[in-house]
Amino acid sequence: MPPRIPGVESRYADLDGLRMHYVEAGDPAGPPVLLLHGFPEFWYSWRFQIQALAGAGYRVIAPDQRGYNLTQKSGPYTGEQLARDIVNLQEHLGIARSYVVGHDWGGVVAWAFAAFYPQRVIKLVSLNSPHPQAYQDACKRGLKQLRKSWYIFFFQLPWLPERAISANNFGKIRKLFGTLPKQYCTEEDIGNYVEALAQPGALHAAINWYRNIPRQLLGFGGRIPPARITVPTCVIWGERDDALEVMCCDSLPRYVQDLDLHFLPESTHWVQIDAPERVNALLLAFFASPEK
């Protein structure tokens, strides 16, 4: 059974070639905020942010991205298409511009969205998701980031990644989220992640995001966006990330015109889950800050 959160409504949007599931909360007339999840997640990873932002008067929309959970399982899984999905969702909802927040792969989509469609972004927030050029810079500096990226190469293989992840009733997913503090990620929460990834075709679709990664990083798909991000941008980074080195942030000033950077030394890759109060405070402060 899909998880339920008080005040959060589950809805569907028929977009251009895609039936997308999303949840919505808060004031329908409030400033819109789009929350974009990563792997192996779905809208539920934003449960702490949805309530905080809705309580502050924002209109909060958190989709299941293409291929995930209850959204249709069909490609292409390129940054260009995934960014276009967000435009289509905005248009469906009657939104001209919004705040955009992304984590992990959702951050990659957020970077692409801000590069392709800056006129549709009020402000951008990325959580433990480096700008693709900054990620490449980190990989070129030595082996540390390349070693941490081993799973990306593994995910290029056919069928084997899906079998490994789904084995033992998604034991790897249970172990992954089982490392988070129990007060923020309970056994029920972990079960919700497993149920979402066990939807027919969902795991294969999620891995296919990784199988598109060379195009994702080198050009977001067929059309290469400008590398420099011109919208006001906040990056929140949990330093205990097992997949991404802090050095992924070193060259960010080259690519981000207006950067607000925050490091959380005790947080992991799942920063919005294991440090929700701090993340929520940073989001609200950044949204409320005057544009330069």
Residue 271 C-beta-side C-alpha neighbours within 13 Å: 33
Q: Which residue among the candidates 58, 193, 210, 255 is catalytic per the annotation?
A: 210
Residue 62 bridge partners (DSSP): 23
Please give the Cα distance from 69 to 99 (Å, whole number).
Answer: 23
Please give the Cα distance from 54 to 147 (Å, whole number).
Answer: 39
- Work out the angle at residue 238's Cα, subtended by the Cα atoms of residues 219 and 246, and round it to the nearest 5 degrees: 60
How long a stretch of residues is the chain? 292
Q: Which residue among the candidates 37, 77, 269, 274 is catalytic per the annotation?
A: 269
Whether 104 is catalytic: yes
Q: Which residue among the candidates 104, 137, 189, 274 is catalytic per the annotation?
A: 104
Determine the residue type at 140: K
Whether 21 is catalytic: no
User: Pick from 33, 48, 37, 259: which is nearest to 128 by CA?
Assistant: 37
Whether 269 is catalytic: yes
Provide the 10 A C-beta neighbour count for residue 173: 20
The answer to whether the beta carbons of residues 177 and 183 sit under 8 Å apart is no
Active site residues: 104, 210, 269
